[in-house]
């Protein structure tokens, strides 16, 4: 059962539930963030006496809210689309509630009420990778990125073992907690379903991080573990270069992304950079086909080494800036990564793409410390 109090004297958007609204044991304190498909609130759990983040399924283009808190359709023609998104939102909550990995967002509870659905999650405190990179003039070193990669690959591998793909990995969807733990955020499953229904890919794709197969699955160009690995590689590219790679649609015609392994980055071995290049291959078949292939390459297992690393990576300022998991030493040798044998460019699907990044992930205004909820 929900109750509502006045929204007067707050900066919360009109579509949001008012501060003080009760959703069972959860009392809403304020809005943490709002996007096109949902609202995230900071709430107090009166049963367990702790703060949580509560996410509400609220696709703004499809529904509005009545004075009784209920979500209502703007048009009956959108009923099927809303229902599909709602089902996907609940399925995502159920999935995250089942998974137990320190680098995956944990859903504590989910339920349906007011004509929509909600999920309660721990409140995250820290910065996104995007925020963190923008506060540094220099890129991180290899040790820092290895400390980031290992837990993220573990989380992604856990998803893939269940046949689930994230399909929205990007710097603004990875949170670095105060203890240095990376957490993968925002599957955006409901957003994808609604956008697929409306055939509006620009609403869900971040062009710099979405590989070519996310625009259209044709023949052998299909999505799989390699899809998430491309996005993770693009995220590492952003950390090193300070900007994302060119969109995959442009790269399929003319690939202007210079290999990282041919460039000098302080504190990074050429072999490590070559692994990132491998993940960033435009053609799906030229990328690592699963998480284990990347882990094997990172640990020097598998194929014979392509090059020997002359020395340990040189430390950078990054490992002194935030706490990170214990870094792994640079391996003495890294395996070869197969080069593409394809000479012809990939076909470009006829899709109109907006090249601006879509920022669905919620950013929380800092108080005593930055707070974030998904």
Report whether pLDDT(338) > 90: no
Lowest mean pLDDT among 64-68, 239-243, 344-348: 344-348
**pTM tops 0.95, yes or no:** no
Q: For residue 171, what pLDDT is reported?
A: 96
Go through the domains of the chain in sequence order and give each one's CATH number: 21-125 (3.30.200.20), 127-335 (1.10.510.10)
Lowest mean pLDDT among 103-107, 209-213, 235-239, 325-329: 325-329
Report whether pLDDT(300) > 90: no
**Higher-pLDDT residue of 366, 227:** 227
In the structure, what pLDDT confidence band is assigned to residue 371 with cuts at 50, 70 and 90?
A: very low
Q: What is the DSSP letter of 223?
A: -
Report whether pLDDT(361) > 60: no
pLDDT average, residue stretch 289-304 = 84
Q: What are 116's strand-pairing partners?
A: 113
Report whether pLDDT(127) > 50: yes
Structure-token match 């707050």, residue found? 10
In the structure, what pLDDT confidence band is assigned to residue 323 with cuts at 50, 70 and 90?
A: very low
pLDDT average, residue stretch 281-296 = 94
Q: For residue 215, what pLDDT is reported?
A: 84
Q: Rounded to an integer, what distance in angstroms lies between the CA atom of residue 274 and that of residue 255?
A: 16
Q: Rounded to an integer, what distance in angstroms lies between the CA atom of residue 314 and that of residue 292?
A: 27
Report whether pLDDT(149) > 60: yes
- 76-to-61, 89, 180, 244 alpha-carbon distances in Å: 13, 20, 47, 40
Q: For residue 189, what pLDDT is reported?
A: 54
> Which tokens is 171 given?
């710097």
Task: Output phi, psi for 88, to 5 deg.
Answer: -65, -40
Q: For residue 78, what pLDDT is reported?
A: 87
Q: For residue 108, what pLDDT is reported?
A: 94
Report whether pLDDT(56) > 90: yes
> Which tokens is 70 given?
């209920």
Q: Rounded to an integer, what distance in angstroms lies between the CA atom of residue 127 and that of residue 133?
A: 10
> Which tokens is 42 given?
């900071």
- 7-to-31, 35, 304, 340, 362 alpha-carbon distances in Å: 12, 19, 64, 58, 21
Do residues 294 and 247 touch, judged by C-beta distance below 8 A?
A: no
């Amino acid at each position: 059962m929900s109750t509502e109090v006045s929204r007067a004297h707050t900066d919360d958007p009109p579509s949001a539930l008012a501060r003080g609204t009760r959703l069972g044991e959860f009392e809403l304190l304020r809005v943490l963030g709002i996007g096109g498909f949902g609202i995230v609130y900071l709430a107090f759990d009166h049963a367990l006496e702790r703060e949580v983040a509560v996410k509400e399924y609220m696709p703004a283009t499809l529904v509005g809210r009545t004075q009784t808190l209920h979500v209502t359709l703007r048009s009956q023609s959108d009923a099927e689309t809303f229902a599909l998104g709602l089902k996907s939102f609940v399925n995502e909550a159920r999935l995250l509630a089942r998974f137990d990995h320190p680098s995956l967002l944990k859903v504590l509870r989910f339920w349906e009420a007011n004509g929509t659905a909600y999920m309660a999650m721990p409140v995250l405190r820290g910065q996104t990778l995007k925020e963190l990179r923008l506060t540094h003039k220099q890129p991180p070193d290899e040790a820092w990125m290895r400390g980031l990669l290992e837990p993220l690959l573990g989380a992604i591998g856990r998803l893939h073992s269940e046949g689930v793909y994230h399909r929205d990995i990007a710097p603004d969807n990875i949170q670095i907690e105060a203890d240095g733990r990376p957490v993968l955020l925002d599957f955006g499953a409901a957003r994808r379903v609604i956008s697929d229904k409306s055939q509006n890919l620009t609403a869900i794709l971040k062009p710099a991080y979405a590989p070519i197969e996310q625009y259209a699955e044709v023949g052998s160009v299909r999505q799989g573990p390699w899809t998430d690995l491309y996005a993770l590689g693009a995220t590492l590219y952003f950390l090193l270069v300070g900007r994302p790679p060119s969109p995959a649609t442009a790269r399929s015609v003319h690939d202007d992304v210079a290999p990282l392994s041919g460039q000098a980055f302080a504190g990074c071995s050429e072999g490590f950079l070559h692994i990132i290049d491998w993940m960033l291959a435009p053609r799906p078949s030229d990328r690592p086909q699963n998480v284990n292939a990347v882990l094997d390459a990172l640990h020097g297992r598998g194929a014979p080494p392509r090059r020997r690393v002359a020395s340990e990576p040189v430390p950078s300022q990054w490992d002194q800036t935030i706490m990170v998991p214990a870094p792994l030493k640079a391996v003495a040798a890294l395996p070869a990564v197969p080069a593409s044998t394809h000479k012809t460019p990939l076909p470009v699907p006829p899709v109109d793409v907006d090249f601006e990044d879509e920022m669905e992930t919620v950013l929380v205004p800092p108080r005593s410390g930055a707070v974030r909820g998904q």
